[in-house]
Structure 1
């Protein structure tokens, strides 16, 4: 079945174009919001060739297709529906897409941070590569020592690794404006104001090398290098303020007055209002999460490795983006990634056991690619297409992820970047941690595979 035929069949089985409110896609799933859920022929869709499963989450009907294929099918669906947003009222669409208030808040974080993630992933890879090339063990192969590395080369690597985090508020503010209907260029400038060289650097203030500016005798102001929440909140308020201005400012002066008032409003509330408060809130959240992760005897790692896998099921895993970005901006390390990776790899181990033991060709065709996908960091086909469907394999993967998370915590593993796990994630550990990273993930995989093989799956479950 071609992508065009598959797209046509999907549209037909979800109730035709008139039942589709909107269509989106992520790395592996086609996300469809419909007016009437009862019109969806879910069983028929899951039986389609190349479909690895489907489920409802956050008001969306999500069809698992896999990387690459989902992009091509999405393009064909849009050709049929005409637009990403098809029929249906705006009010209904908002309710269907975002579900309850908490889910809306998480989705809002996701929409803002996802466009920023690729540059942070690249920055993490640069950090890992620099760590590899500056190791004594690696340099000794070429008869060199760290002292032999030219300062100009080190400066070049610092440009690659430090820039994104130095101007992180500008990236966040730009993306927030873009998602909330403001002018992205105003967002960029506002974000740059938050890290202006005229302000004492947050890093210098934190190290005691500089003093913050004091306004009105009580408000201490410094730059927001590495901060996320102040830029995010400033972007939301300023973008909405700009939209309000455009409705009330005469067209004849809009070009001059609206950007002027928007930037004045934005930087004022950022420096003297919400900025200082949210900066403390952000530091408090980070302190809490890191202390939970570092509970003694690896308890924190076990709990997150085990139960962190539930976040994706409830559609709230995007909140982790904020935490990972904040960790990296704070001290250059990501403590969530190695533990979360164990959960992903454990899903691969569980689904491989199902693939080998399954008698159904359809299940084997779904499970083997799902295993490979999970090893590359994309777990949706394994979770929703196989493991969660049979329940027990998912529980076994939770145990495997918990064991791996426990070991990762005990060994103090930490990544140089974010958003890539499993096999690609090795690029974030190109230092003395790499052997430990591989061992921990092999153990997670083996535990989940063994438990699923002996306790979590039998051929009888396919017919139940």
Structure 2
């Protein structure tokens, strides 16, 4: 498909002209802009352009949905028309960070650390789902698992379980790689730091409580100073703080150590200092804080389950709009590794489906706008598979009442899931395939919740459109 040059010119005009563009890049489906003033954007004019399927702003970036394949041609034409320099996604991130407040910077930092490792975590969740199906009782046979009846499948399930668990066993290594890279240090040193915190010579973190009760915690004795010889398997905060320290020490030394001896000084000193600090101060303090956070979240949902489900289930999509949902990735991972599963992620999965259901309803509501009908269908499918931004920003928030309908549906489902203590044993695909990550004894309740978020948002959107007259907000 060729690009209409006039359509690209209209996009530039709608976002405030070429002088309003600080930088621009593109991903697989979207143009990504760092704009000097987003207040100059005419969204109504922008979204009326034939090649534009939607637009939204997140984390300081203004993004225009074009579509796979076509976006490359549109970007090339945009560069030619405006004369702007070609930029990478990292260039856009660096430019937009300048406009963020301290809270937004913290949220964005967490997002930049955890999003790159999500493929490994989600993959682990899907594989653990397969293992769960093979090893769970009462799924195929009463009182027995599939591998108990078909024992020749037992080793197959065991291998799947090993592959799936690897991402969680060496989680600090993954986080160390991503965090040190984000903080400006060497990713390789981040991996070494993370693996150091789960070294087999250390007491496994999951055995810490029993060892403490029995008084068998091992110690190092460094010139009379006793340091607990404990690992930090499944912990998030220790490696985050240690990675920050490691990166800053490395940056400090790189600026001051002569090139001829950098190899002998920078990495060894940085790792040595960070290692001692991790086992002496960072680890014990953040281990306590992480458990305190986990216990606090668990206690809230234990004591006020319905209210917690109503708030988190109902408002998760609002967190997505603000970008604050990224902060809960760390909480989910911490719950998975220390509390036997996360009760937050199942509500996320249903919230995504609710947004897809509301967007899907708009395809039947809209009679004359073929462009919106097509966007409603494709964005709904995307949301059903866990990617909600096209549905939310391209359809639901534009009309507002589909977004509210989706919030109502996901709030009802959130209450159902929370009062029944539904848990996922891992983060997975946050949509219709999400049941694979749910502990199988909760499947029945989860499927009821899934029916709620499929039916309620669709029905409310359809009725609301008839009453409202299908006008944009």
TM-score, shorter chain, exceeding 0.5? yes
Correspondent of 1:171 among 168, 174, 184: 174
Q: CA deviation at 1:427?
A: 2.5
Counterparts of 1:156 and 1:351, CA distance in 2: 40
Report what 1:180 is aligned to. Answer: 183
From the superposition, tell whether residues 301 and 41 of structure 1 become closer, same or farther in structure 2 (CA, over 3 Å). closer
Matching residue within 147, 156, 159 for 1:156: 159
Aligned to 1:130: 131
Structure 2: distance between partners of 1:86 and 1:184: 16
After superposition, residues 39-118 of structure 1 pair within 5 angstroms as 40-65=41-66, 68=68, 72=72, 76=76, 81-84=85-88, 93-96=96-99, 99-118=100-119
1:390 to 2:373 alignment: no
Aligned match for 1:213, one of 210, 219, 222: 219
Contact 2:134 2:147 in 1 (8 A): no
Residue 197 of structure 2 is aligned to residue 194 of structure 1: yes
- Given the alignment, which residue of 358, 374, 385 partners 1:376? 385
Residue of structure 2 in register with 1:203 after alignment: 206
Query: Cα RMSD over matched residues?
Result: 3.3
Change (3 A) 1:390 1:233: same
Query: What are the Cα deviations for residues 169-195 of structure 1, in whole angstroms up to 9, with x where unaligned?
Result: 111111112222211111111111111
Does residue 358 in structure 1 map to residue 362 in structure 2?
no
TM-aligned CA deviation for residue 277 of structure 1: 0.9
On the 8 A contact 2:309/2:416 being kept in 1, the answer is yes
Query: Partner residue of 2:357?
Result: 349
Q: Say whether the 8 Å CA contact 2:416–2:449 is kept in structure 1.
A: yes
Given the superposition, is the C-alpha separation of residues 410 and 199 from structure 1 closer, same or farther in structure 2, using an over 3 Å criterion?
same
Rate the CA distance shift 1:205–1:297 in 2: closer, same or farther, 3 A.
Answer: closer
Does the 8 Å contact 1:324/1:336 carry over to 2?
yes
1:119 and 2:130 are equivalent in the alignment: no
Deviation of 1:453 after TM superposition, in Å, equals: 2.4
Q: Retained in 2: the 8 A contact 1:355–1:364?
A: yes
Q: What SS does structure 1 have at the residue aligned with 2:98?
A: helix
Which whole-Å CA distance do the structure 2 matches of 1:369 and 1:328 have between them? Answer: 32
Q: How far is the alpha carbon of 1:143 from its aligned partner?
A: 8.6
User: Structure 2: 5+ residue runs without aligned partners?
Assistant: none
| Equivalence for 2:306 | 298
Distance 1:417 1:189 in 2: 25
Asked if the contact 2:131/2:160 (under 8 Å) is kept, the reply is yes
Structure-2 separation of matches of 1:188 and 1:78: 40
Q: Conserved in 2, the CA contact under 8 Å of 1:234 and 1:270? A: yes
CA distance in 1, matches of 2:320, 2:29: 13
- C-alpha displacement at 1:118, in angstroms? 0.8
Alpha-carbon deviation of 1:252? 0.9
Indicate yes or no: 2:327 matched with 1:319: yes
Aligned pair count?
Answer: 460
Q: Does 1:223 align with 2:231?
A: yes
Relative to structure 1, the CA distance from residue 344 to residue 87 in structure 2 (aligned partners, 3 Å threshold; closer, same or farther) is: closer
Q: Does the alignment pair 1:446 with 2:447?
A: no
The TM-score, its normalising length taken from structure 1, stands at 0.87
**Other-structure match for 1:33:** 34
Show the counterpart of 1:433: 442
